[in-house]
Chain A
């Protein structure tokens, strides 16, 4: 029994339930948050964490259940009510206007008529006192993701909340930036504020949280003290069973293997004022290897993916080469016909059309490469062969679904991702470029996808994986390069790569200085 139980509960939740159609996203959730504690909300993607938090912040209304605030029953009908009670929230996806300054963004959400200069002064003072230095005059568009998160945190703190909800705050931070954030959270706790900390990163939960509530499939499966648990025992509670570890067979003869994907001096001007320019990127991915690209979100990964996939063409056709031939001037269809396959970051709306059936989504990326088997004379689609190919992929990737050929949007994120990755693997591409292969995918499915990517490489293909999840990259990659501000570092062989070295590169340290600054850090 921890000492927390002696303190009065700031927030008590009893039997909170939210139903969407046939899905019970939250099923009789009970949760107590004491004053002055950091309480972790653990769970895999789709476990119901976001739904629960949205009900606490008033953006969703529960179907049933009660919420007590300082012992009083309350109904939180809107975010405005939540703010008045003293609940503040820092979202995973920021809601900031890039063309405005930090202070202007804060003023917009406070909406209390005080002049910008006053708000700026307050924000500056607050940010320094919590160790999150912030220049209120700076334009949001010029700031890094970590700095943008500070604006969100400061904006939240200015409303003097008692309970601060943080949704996956470290997913956009370098390991060093995350350390800074933890110091701030500990200071807030010392002041008696409570924090609800949502994460699926077990190490950091063990490090800073006093108690944890674990959700699985919309239900509370347990409360615990994370400090007394191991990462493995927490994972077991989250997932419900052991997750199969990914096996990475040693890559052999890579040095002599031909480079199937080459990027030579790839440079791209920003298409919009807030896009990241790509600066002279060089990279070669050889047959048989997996290269990982690490980096904090928004450092040019999206722009890089578009350029490599051919959704955006290059002026210099030699800047992207596939299997030894220039491909920079070819469209995505042309590059696919050369043997390349692509999996974008966004599943719905980019990798798949949400309102189309899985079989139609198969045609989406393969209508040209499999033209002979899928499209007949006169441009008629051979529905039967598309359907059976889709079923083959569904079986190979163990895609769970409710109907024989459901719409993409009807699948859970993880199952759709398995289908989208499987759609490309099924072609046995010689070059595979994947952006965020397991973002939002449950642990079991993620292991499946990672294993499949490694096996594709070992069978002689070149695999390039862009990810913000360092654990994933260390599991998958034979070498890791880091993208920062549109520049790509040289790949670091996995044997030499450590979290610290990669983390420093993610933060913008010069590759040559990495060793040195590690010693001083």
Chain B
């Protein structure tokens, strides 16, 4: 009789910590090929359209950076939460509130112009995201509510609040009744990095800087150590003198601020005004990015590019092959599924075992030895 058995490793495997995302990616491709075949499309052709064509020209790489920037910014913040075993699922809402707060200046004070406008907007965006994230943190520390539920539900509140704003008080009076704010003035628009080559803006730089800064914090600083201790063994954290409630606020405010920064960067950079919908689910996709990147900020920067490609690929297969762009969602879901599955390999070895024949070996008899 043979069977598979998971054998716990004495130490987590460094090899599989690195390999697991790649194995997951390979499994996703196999499952994706089966899916395309079932949809009646040649998988090779579909992969070409989905993964290769969208990044074959320089301007397309700029589009990739535009999509990747918010994913990376949000995901590095979330990675700190998740390392602390605190579950902020509401980055989508914090992203929206960041967009709204940052838009206060260009929408309500359109005449205020100059070099101060943009830094103030970015700052307000971070404040907005952080304040919105403080709500689940406060509820968790004061009333022990489950932060997964509260942060998630606040996403819908944020979406409806934005919808109300752009249809009501903040609607452009000259906008022919369209639900959107006025176009931001020049000093309120996030500049493009290389306007001649493509549309990518400073948001991508923010994302990379955030990834490096958070990586430094998590790997080299006492604060990062505190996050990891409280996340992996809260009681040992208390023994170390680290406060759990303080950590809840720290992680929520940090991840909220980064999500808010992503929100205002998207609004002022890629969109240029507030609309009823400003995110194709960046806040949720960033959760996948965080895990695909192994909760390591540098890994997240790479994972952000991969997930950004799934967005572009979804648009490409829709226009070129007539397949629904929901395919992008399927790919994202499969990727998360396989990543979590492959993580098992970090802590366990897979062994094929059968029952060996029992060996007889008598133990020494002390009484007889005398």
Give the B-binding residues of A (Cβ under 8 A). 1, 14-15, 20-23, 28-30, 63-66, 219-225, 237, 309, 311, 331-333, 336, 342, 344, 346, 348-356, 360, 363-365, 367-368, 375, 378-381, 383, 402-403, 406-407, 410
B221 touches A331 (CB 8 A): no
B367 at the interface (CB under 8 A from A): yes
- Shortest beta-carbon distance from A326 to chain B in Å: 18
Least CB separation from B217: chain A residue: A379
Quick one: closest B residue to A220, CB to CB? B363
Shortest Cβ distance from A518 into chain B, in angstroms? 38
Q: A64-B356, A222-B365, A410-B11 are in contact. Are A364 and B221 (CB under 8 A)?
A: no
Distance between Cα atoms of A299 and B369 in the complex (Å) = 46
Q: In the docked arrangement, what's the CA distance between A333 and B8, Å?
A: 35
**Contact, CB under 8 Å: A223 / B239:** no
Binary interface encoding of chain B residues 239-273 relative to chain A, with 1 for a CB under 8 A from any of its CBs, else 0? 11100000000000000000000000000000000
Of B10, B221, B238, the residue contacting A410 (CB under 8 A) is B10
Residue of B nearest to A30 (CB): B363
Q: Are B225 and A354 in contact (CB under 8 A)?
A: no
Which chain B positions have C-beta within 8 A of A65? 358
Tell me the interface secondary structure of chain A in the complex. mixed
Interface size class of B (residues with CB under 8 A): 35 or more
Q: How far is the CA of A348 from the CA of B237 in the complex (A)?
A: 12
Nearest neighbor of A212 in chain B, beta-carbon distance: B366
A-B contacts, 30 listed (Cβ < 8 Å): A14-B360, A15-B360, A20-B8, A21-B349, A28-B359, A28-B361, A28-B363, A29-B363, A30-B362, A30-B363, A64-B358, A222-B363, A222-B369, A223-B363, A223-B365, A224-B367, A332-B241, A348-B233, A350-B235, A353-B228, A353-B232, A354-B232, A355-B12, A356-B228, A367-B222, A375-B222, A380-B220, A380-B222, A381-B222, A407-B12
B367 and A1 form a contact (CB under 8 A)? yes
Known A30-B363, A379-B223, A410-B10; judge A364-B240 contact (CB<8 A): yes
B: residues with CB less than 8 A from A are 7-12, 220-223, 225, 228-229, 232-233, 235-241, 349, 353, 355-367, 369
In the complex, which residues of chain B have a beta carbon less than 8 angstroms from the beta carbon of A23? Answer: 10
| C-alpha gap A29/B232 in the complex (Å) | 37
Task: Evaluate contact between A332 and B358: CB separation under 8 angstroms.
Answer: no
A221 to B238, CA, bound (A): 43
Q: Which residue of A lies closest to B234 (CB)?
A: A349
Task: Output the nearest chain A residue to B238 by Cβ-Cβ distance.
Answer: A311
> Is the pair A365, B225 in contact by a Cβ cutoff of 8 Å?
no
Contact of B222 among A30, A333, A379 (CB under 8 A): A379
Nearest first, the 3 closest Cβ-Cβ pairs linking A and B are: A333-B241, A220-B363, A222-B366
* Bound Cα distance from A221 to B233, whole angstroms: 38
Q: A21-B10, A22-B10, A364-B229 are in contact. Are A344 and B239 (CB under 8 A)?
A: yes
A113 to chain B, nearest CB (A): 35
Which of these, A14, A221, A360, contacts B225 with CB under 8 Å? A360
Report chain B residues within 8 Å CB of A365: 239-240
Residue numbers in B under 8 Å from A349 (CB-CB) = 233, 235-236
Residues in chain A near residue B353, CB distance under 8 A: 63
10 further A-B contacts with Cβ under 8 Å, apart from A15-B359, A28-B361, A407-B12, are: A28-B359, A64-B357, A223-B367, A237-B366, A346-B235, A353-B229, A364-B236, A379-B221, A380-B222, A381-B220
**Please, which residues of chain A bring their CB within 8 A of the CB of B363?**
28-30, 219-223
B239–A311 contact, CB under 8 A?
Answer: yes
List the B side residues contacting A220 at CB < 8 Å.
363-364
* Cα separation A336 to B239 with both chains bound (whole Å): 11
Residues of chain B with a CB closer than 8 A to A311's CB: 238-239
- How far does the Cβ of A27 sit from chain B's closest Cβ, in whole Å? 9
Distance (whole angstroms) from the CB of B305 to the closest CB of chain A: 29
Q: Which residue of B lies closest to A354 (CB)?
A: B233
* Given A331-B241, A350-B236, A406-B11, A221:B364 Cβ within 8 A: yes
Pair B221/A353 contact, Cβ less than 8 Å: no
By the criterion CB–CB under 8 Å, are B221 and A350 in contact? no
Contact between A351 and B10, CB atoms less than 8 A apart: no
Question: Nearest residue in A to B223 (C-beta to C-beta)?
Answer: A379
Q: Which residues of B contact A355 (CB under 8 A)?
A: 12, 232-233
Contact residues in A for B8 (Cβ distance below 8 Å): 20-21
Q: Nearest chain B CB to A80's CB is how many angstroms away?
A: 21
Is the CB–CB distance between B366 and A223 below 8 Å? yes
Nearest neighbor of A335 in chain B, beta-carbon distance: B241
Known: A224-B367, A353-B229. A364 touches B239 (CB 8 A): yes
List chain A residues, Cβ under 8 A from B357: 64
Most buried by A among B7, B358, B360: B358
A22 CB to closest chain B CB, in angstroms? 6
Which chain B residue has the least Cβ–Cβ distance from A73?
B358
